[in-house]
């Protein structure tokens, strides 16, 4: 028997997105503001920490490198961009549209001990990887013991 760790927060987020989709489907065309919100989505993210750096990975398949922007200000990293819908496909022939498109934005607070000057981002196979090195002050050091 395999035990799986229950993630109640993830279940709540999925439920909230399902409810949002229902409201967008039935009430999204009431005004321009609702239509603008309908074209927003939130890419999934993983955040990892090693001894020397933090790594943020976002799933953004179909998003071009030119359509992504990464900003770092006061220890908050913000990633925003846009997944453009394929305009060559005739809209009236769709039976179902589940692929998300539109603008997205994600922000993450980082600890004070990161080196903002050395942050690097790369996009490969729909995965945006952002490497955030820790500052020299934050790195673990071994203190040698002297004999007298």
Q: Are residues 126 and 60 in the same domain?
A: yes
Its domain, for residue 15, covers 8-38
Lowest mean pLDDT among 19-33, 56-70, 78-92: 19-33
Residue 128 lies in a domain: yes
Looking at the fold, whether 20 and 51 belong to one and the same domain comes out as no
Q: Write the CATH number for 109.
A: 2.60.40.790
Domain count, the chain: 2
Are both 79 and 47 inside the same structural domain? yes
Q: What is the 3-state secondary structure (H, E, C) of 101-142?
A: CEEEEEEEECCCCECHHHCEEEEECCEEEEEEEECHHHCCCC
Tell me the average pLDDT across 62-78. Answer: 93
Residue 118 in any domain: the answer is yes
pLDDT at 33: 45
For residues 65 and 112, membership in a common domain is answered with yes
H or E element at residue 77: strand 76-83
- 3-state secondary structure at position 34: helix
Report if residue 48 sits inside a domain.
yes
Residue-wise pLDDT tens digits, 36-48: 445 678 899 999 9
The confidence score (pLDDT) of residue 40 equals 78
pLDDT, one tens digit per residue, over 87-139 is 777 767 777 777 778 899 999 999 888 988 999 999 999 999 999 999 877 66
Q: Tell me: do 27 and 77 sit in the same domain.
A: no
Instruction: Give the best-scoring range by mean pLDDT among 7-11, 27-31, 86-90.
Output: 7-11
* pLDDT at residue 16 greater than cutoff 90: no
Tokens 């090195």, residue? 133
27 and 72 share one domain = no
Q: Is 127 buried (19+), middle (13-18) or exposed (0-12) by CB count in 10 A?
A: middle
Tell whether 15 and 60 lie within a shared domain.
Answer: no
Residue with the larger pLDDT of the pair 88 and 81: 81
Domain-located, residue 95: no
Dihedral angle sign, alpha carbons of residues 81, 101, 20, 48: negative
């Amino acid at each position: 028997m395999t035990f799986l760790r229950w993630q109640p927060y993830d279940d709540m987020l999925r439920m909230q997105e399902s409810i949002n989709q229902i409201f967008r489907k039935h009430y999204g065309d009431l005004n321009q503001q609702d239509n603008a919100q309908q074209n927003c989505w939130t890419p999934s993210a993983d955040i990892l920490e090693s001894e020397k750096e933090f790594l943020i990975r976002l799933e953004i398949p179909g998003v071009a490198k030119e359509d992504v922007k990464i900003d770092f200000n006061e220890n908050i990293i913000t990633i925003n961009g846009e997944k453009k819908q394929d305009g060559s496909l005739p809209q009236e022939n769709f039976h179902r549209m589940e692929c998300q498109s539109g603008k997205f934005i994600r922000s993450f607070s980082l600890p004070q001990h990161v080196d903002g000057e050395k942050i690097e981002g790369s996009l490969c196979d729909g995965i945006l990887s952002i490497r955030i090195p820790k500052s020299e002050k934050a790195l673990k050091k071994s203190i040698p013991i002297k004999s007298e």
